[in-house]
Chains A and B, each alone.
Chain A
Amino acid sequence: MMKIDNKITSGQLMAIIVNTIIGVGILSLPRDLVEALKTDGWILVLISGLLAIGSVTLITILVMKYPGKTVTEFGRNLITTPISDFCSILFLIYLLIFSAFVVRIFGEIVKMYLLRNTPIEFIIITMLITVAYIARAGIEAIGKFCVLVLPIVVIPIFFMGFVLLPELDFSNLLPVFKFKITDLLKGIPSTVFSFAGFEVILLFNAFVERPKKTLKYNLIGMVLIIFVYLFVFLISVMVFGVIETTHLIWPSMSLMEVIQFPGAFLENVQGVVMAQWVVLVFSTLAPLIYGSALIFDKLFRGNEHKYYVFPLMPIIFVLALVPDNIATAYDYIGKSTNILGTFVILVLPLLLLVVSLFKKNNKKGAVKNG
């Protein structure tokens, strides 16, 4: 029968990617976009999306050459063990910082909207423990969970647009095409990072059963994300207008305050949206933390990632509490993920791909490890 053998399907990988990417970025995204390009922010979404797709294609092609192996493993073949291990460690640090960032912002928002007086440490610890449970369970559990949760992540966002229909003012999107190219280029770095998360393909493709289809599914996933982001941006601007959107720290959250169900059996839909959002963040954190434990495990050439999960928790916890307040939180962690992120998303895969092509050209009959 289907054994528990740590394999996922490409469909599940797609769900993992979509879930990882849609996390905390979606909350502040409309504001970033509007600050950069005002009503033309949607152009920025499309362009950043295309760049992200480019990167995804790059990464997917790379990992398809080494089915069954994570980047830590095949990196050693390509660019010598010390350098590869160093890169893997950088990747690991990147994942840890990213997780810390996500969990910190998550804590801030839960504190703001749900549990005002609860100390943020409590919120962070409880979330981390819950994520640890699924991270220890392994990639199969994460894959299935992400498929299960995918509709919960995606559908309410479109549903929200439907419900907000009376509040939408399409004219808020005018005027169009009034931006400067320099603004566009300046805006790209911050928006591309709303798409960050797909670098986990580098690690998880190793577990996919039939890797041939991954490219198709990955691209479908990215396109879906572009749609979601586009949608959120459009709704935000249509409801709030450009100026107000720049005022709100988390426009996507403020959107839910505007929703009013006719007949109102729920006075504030806030609660439901917050509940859904906890799931979103959980599904973002789980692959990240699992990925960190995995890298650790592969660095030591082991095969049991379970034991590395709990030790990583304190590290993330401490990192999450480093920024003193919310302003520095976005600042520090945002900046460090920018540098490390570019490395992981762009530099590393490009480097590995180039080297692999080079090696393949040199050696006939490349050694293929199943």
Chain B
Amino acid sequence: MDKKVRLCILLIMFLVTSTLPGCWDKVEINERAFITAVGIDVYQPSKDEEKVKGELGMEAKDKYTITYVFPNIEAVGKGGQGQPRFIVASVGMTPYETTRGLRTRLHQVLFFQHMKVLVIGEDVAKDSTMLKEMLDSVERNNEINRKVNVLVAKGKAEDILNVQSQFEPDIGLYISSISEASEGSARFNPLPLGELLKSLHGNKRTLMPRVVPGKNDLKVAGSAVIKNYQLIGWLGELENRGAMFLKNKVKADTVVVIDYDNKVVIPYVITESETKQTGTIEDGKIKLKYDIKMEGDLSQYKMDTSEDVMDDKFLRGVEKQVEEAVKMQLDNTVKKIQKEFKVDVIDAGEYFSKYKPHIWNTVKDDWENIFPDIEIEVTVDSKIRRIGLIK
């Protein structure tokens, strides 16, 4: 008897719950727009619109123009036709509102969980309020993943997203695969959203990779220096590499040196690199020492020269040249960061906060001002391990 009652109750529960209009979240997969890339720019209104003030009376007029890229589903299947992707732009006061505004124009449901790339236009990066607003909306959103790659565009983000790449029609995938292929180069540092937020929350400063539009491709190299949520300058490719050395993030790169005697340009390929930091206080001044140890291969020489590459002395000579070249670049980078930008994007302070907390406690409040004056010394030690197949 009891079993029967139980069964009946179960059945009823099942029927009731399954016939409830219970499909609030059901959206057929082909009705979703899989946004893969988003670009944010400052809205430049046309002349007439500029006169109109927003409802709030303040300067809260449309500030953002956001560009969304999503693939055209019909073009993907067999015998697909049409353009491979759609690019839509929308305008609004806040990032979230802008996205919502798109709903009046698109029939698909916007879906951000597959977003790969967020491109921030230069002018947005220069405005700290806009940057902060935008980053908050992205962080709070539960659809946008922490692994999204964030880049700063030189110029407008819109231009970046509009590039018709010959390699990969989907801009989002294109940029994110470049970012992930950072194995061969240290000229930019791939920055997932999580990392970005971490460093901004911690110190209000960071380095963001820069993307530059070409005719039908893009270049991701160099970085944007952000201080107090504001873009204050750029680091070039080599300078970026220098910063990466200091942050111990170099995985592989190429250093070019010149053998003057034989008139050969030698590329030295770094295969491993490790940077160790030590910090002390000397004469009341903070001194930071970076020891960089590199290992690499000599990948190219020149045919028919009298020089024997497989010779220890020769190799050591090349090593020394590499060391000098790198040290010079690093010194330049340090100078630029300390003197020109005056911001600790290489996270030197982190070392003190972790390993020498008693020193950190005395300086942390004033770190912004102290950093430009600290002494930074760089030593480089490189080794050539392999030279390829021939002598």
User: Is B369 in contact with chain A by the CB < 8 A criterion?
Assistant: no
Among the listed A117, A243, A258, A268, which residue makes an inter-chain contact with B25, where contact means beta carbons less than 8 Å apart?
Answer: A117
User: Is A241 in contact with chain B by the CB < 8 A criterion?
Assistant: yes
3 smallest CB-CB distances across A and B, nearest first, come from A174-B354, A175-B357, A117-B24
Closest A residue to B353 by beta carbon equals A175
Closest A residue to B114 by beta carbon equals A267
A residues less than 8 Å from B198 (CB atoms): 240-241, 243-244
User: Is A361 in contact with chain B by the CB < 8 A criterion?
Assistant: no
Determine which residue in B13, B142, B145 has the highest number of CB atoms from chain A within 10 A of its CB, and name it.
B142
A116 touches B25 (CB 8 A): yes
Interface string of A111-142 (1 = CB under 8 A from B): 01111111100100110010001001000000
Within 8 A of A (CB), among B189-208: 194, 197-198, 201-202
B residues less than 8 Å from A117 (CB atoms): 24-25
Given contacts A174-B355, A243-B201, contact A122 B25 (CB under 8 A): no
A residues less than 8 Å from B24 (CB atoms): 115, 117-119, 122
User: Is A81 in contact with chain B by the CB < 8 A criterion?
Assistant: no
Given contacts A240-B198, A244-B201, contact A258 B146 (CB under 8 A): yes
Among the listed A118, A126, A174, A247, which residue makes an inter-chain contact with B201, where contact means beta carbons less than 8 Å apart?
Answer: A247
B residues less than 8 Å from A178 (CB atoms): 357
- Total interface residues on A, using CB and 8 Å? 29
14 A-B pairs with CB atoms under 8 Å apart are A115-B25, A116-B25, A117-B25, A125-B17, A136-B6, A175-B354, A240-B194, A240-B198, A243-B198, A243-B201, A243-B202, A244-B194, A257-B147, A267-B113
Closest CB in chain A relative to B100 CB, distance in Å? 14
Closest CB in chain B relative to A259 CB, distance in Å? 9
Q: Bin the interface of chain B by size.
A: 20 to 34
Closest B residue to A130 by beta carbon equals B13
Given contacts A174-B354, A240-B198, A243-B202, contact A112 B25 (CB under 8 A): no
Complex Cα–Cα for A32 and B6 (A): 43
Secondary structure at the B interface, as helix, strand, loop or mixed, is helix
Given contacts A240-B198, A267-B114, contact A126 B17 (CB under 8 A): yes
B residues less than 8 Å from A244 (CB atoms): 194, 197-198, 201-202
User: Is A28 in contact with chain B by the CB < 8 A criterion?
Assistant: no
A112 touches B13 (CB 8 A): no
Closest A residue to B356 by beta carbon equals A175
Closest CB in chain A relative to B286 CB, distance in Å? 17
Interface string of A242-260 (1 = CB under 8 A from B): 0110010000001001101
A residues less than 8 Å from B353 (CB atoms): 175
Within 8 A of A (CB), among B124-167: 139, 142, 145-147
Complex Cα–Cα for A114 and B142 (A): 10
Interface residues of A (CB under 8 A from B): 112-119, 122, 125-126, 129, 133, 136, 171, 174-175, 178, 240-241, 243-244, 247, 254, 257-258, 260, 267-268
User: Is B10 in contact with chain A by the CB < 8 A criterion?
Assistant: yes
Interface string of B372-388 (1 = CB under 8 A from A): 00000000000000000
Interface string of B1-42 (1 = CB under 8 A from A): 000001000100100010010101100000000000000000
Complex Cα–Cα for A268 and B13 (A): 32
Complex Cα–Cα for A171 and B198 (A): 15
Closest A residue to B145 by beta carbon equals A257
Closest A residue to B360 by beta carbon equals A175
B202 touches A241 (CB 8 A): yes
Closest A residue to B355 by beta carbon equals A174
Given contacts A116-B25, A178-B357, A268-B113, contact A254 B20 (CB under 8 A): no
B10 touches A122 (CB 8 A): no
B147 touches A258 (CB 8 A): yes
A residues less than 8 Å from B147 (CB atoms): 257-258, 260
Given contacts A175-B354, A244-B198, A247-B201, contact A254 B146 (CB under 8 A): yes
Closest B residue to A118 by beta carbon equals B24
Closest B residue to A167 by beta carbon equals B194
A residues less than 8 Å from B139 (CB atoms): 247
B residues less than 8 Å from A175 (CB atoms): 353-355, 357
B residues less than 8 Å from A267 (CB atoms): 113-114
Closest CB in chain A relative to B248 CB, distance in Å? 11
Complex Cα–Cα for A116 and B23 (A): 11
Closest A residue to B194 by beta carbon equals A258
Further 8 A-B residue pairs, CB within 8 A, beyond A133-B10, A175-B357, A244-B194: A112-B142, A118-B22, A118-B25, A129-B13, A129-B17, A244-B197, A254-B146, A268-B113
Complex Cα–Cα for A174 and B352 (A): 10
A residues less than 8 Å from B357 (CB atoms): 175, 178
Complex Cα–Cα for A136 and B194 (A): 45
Closest A residue to B192 by beta carbon equals A258
Complex Cα–Cα for A133 and B268 (A): 69
A residues less than 8 Å from B20 (CB atoms): 122
Closest CB in chain A relative to B190 CB, distance in Å? 13
B residues less than 8 Å from A116 (CB atoms): 25, 142
Complex Cα–Cα for A295 and B354 (A): 52
B145 touches A268 (CB 8 A): yes
Closest CB in chain B relative to A249 CB, distance in Å? 10
